[in-house]
């Protein structure tokens, strides 16, 4: 057997340790506890079910239906991406803050808070005519946002709203990170499908700022849109060694949207929060925004 000197063995052990813990480490995704389902909120009835689409995809729909009768014109409804994680963060108090708001979490058939591969495909804007392999992450596909938007506003919406008195002029969408990227893509590509857009810590720099092409190609809005963008003041992206700060690209987007007369923009920089923490922290802002 080939033997190395002690100092070489120590070096190799340290190198392997670094490679195992950093170079090849994957973020650990925790399970969704979904405690809200065991608390029995007084304002909403909760349910969840699997939905199979015509393209062979499986989604898990989480719903919170108001117990209060619908207002004139129907309930407002908020579609929440990463539904497993979104409903994992819901509390009785949050639901009580929007007692007439229908919440629909669009998640995946997994016990985890997020499904990184499926959200990567569904939430990222097209980079060609068909989805492609992610060059930076083996096993993932990207560029399926257009297909997902069609399913979200078609089969999934039909299933979620069946038998529910929803106001079609008061639909809103909420997403965090890649989900926030998707919400903005929907705003630029098909603004008519939602009235309100909540983009939380949106990944606007994804794929060298691919979103900008859709923003620049967007035509004038035919009706006013309400947009909420929130991000942390201590955000840091993978591979970015600069001091934590609000994303400069997101702040530039905020200023561009603020200049558009057809967009009523709310923007919030959440103090002391990094990228991951903004998801739950945004809900006290997002639910009343969608319900208004």
User: Which sequence positions are flagged as catalytic?
Assistant: 177, 235, 275
Q: Which ranges of 72-143 would DSSP assign to H, the alpha helix?
A: 83-89, 92-96, 116-123
Nearest to 110 by CA among 26, 31, 33, 28: 31
1-32 burial code (b ≥16 CB/10 A, e <16): eeeeeeeeeeeeeeeeeeeeeeeeeeeeeeeb
Give the Cα separation of 88 and 94 in Å (integer).
12
Give the Cα separation of 84 and 33 in Å (integer).
9
Q: Which runs of E-coded beta strand occur in 82-176?
A: 102-108, 132-133, 141-142, 166-176
């Amino acid at each position: 057997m080939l033997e190395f000197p002690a100092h070489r063995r120590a070096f190799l052990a340290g190198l392997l340790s670094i490679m195992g813990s950093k170079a090849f480490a994957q973020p650990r995704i925790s399970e969704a506890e979904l405690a809200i389902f065991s608390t029995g909120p007084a304002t909403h009835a909760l349910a969840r079910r699997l939905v199979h689409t015509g393209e062979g995809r499986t989604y898990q729909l989480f719903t919170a239906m108001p117990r209060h009768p619908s207002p004139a014109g129907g309930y407002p409804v908020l579609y929440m991406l990463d539904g497993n994680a979104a409903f994992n963060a819901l509390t009785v108090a949050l639901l009580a803050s929007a007692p007439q708001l229908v919440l629909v979490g669009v998640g995946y058939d997994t016990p985890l808070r997020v499904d990184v591969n499926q959200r990567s495909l569904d939430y990222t804007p097209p980079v060609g005519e068909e989805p492609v392999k992610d060059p930076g992450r083996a096993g993932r596909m990207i560029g399926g946002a257009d297909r997902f938007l069609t399913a979200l506003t078609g089969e999934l919406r039909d299933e979620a709203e069946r038998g529910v008195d929803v106001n079609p002029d008061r639909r809103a969408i909420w997403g965090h990170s890649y989900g926030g990227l998707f919400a903005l893509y929907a705003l630029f590509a098909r603004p008519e499908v939602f009235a309100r857009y909540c983009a939380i810590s949106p990944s606007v720099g994804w794929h060298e700022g691919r979103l900008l092409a859709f923003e620049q190609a967007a035509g004038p809005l035919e009706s006013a849109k309400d947009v909420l963008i929130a991000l942390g003041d201590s955000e840091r992206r993978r591979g970015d060694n600069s001091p934590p700060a609000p994303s400069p690209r997101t702040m530039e987007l905020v200023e561009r949207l603020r200049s558009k007369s057809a967009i009523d923009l709310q923007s919030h920089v959440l103090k002391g929060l990094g990228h991951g923490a903004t998801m739950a922290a945004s809900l006290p802002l997002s639910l009343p925004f969608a319900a208004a």
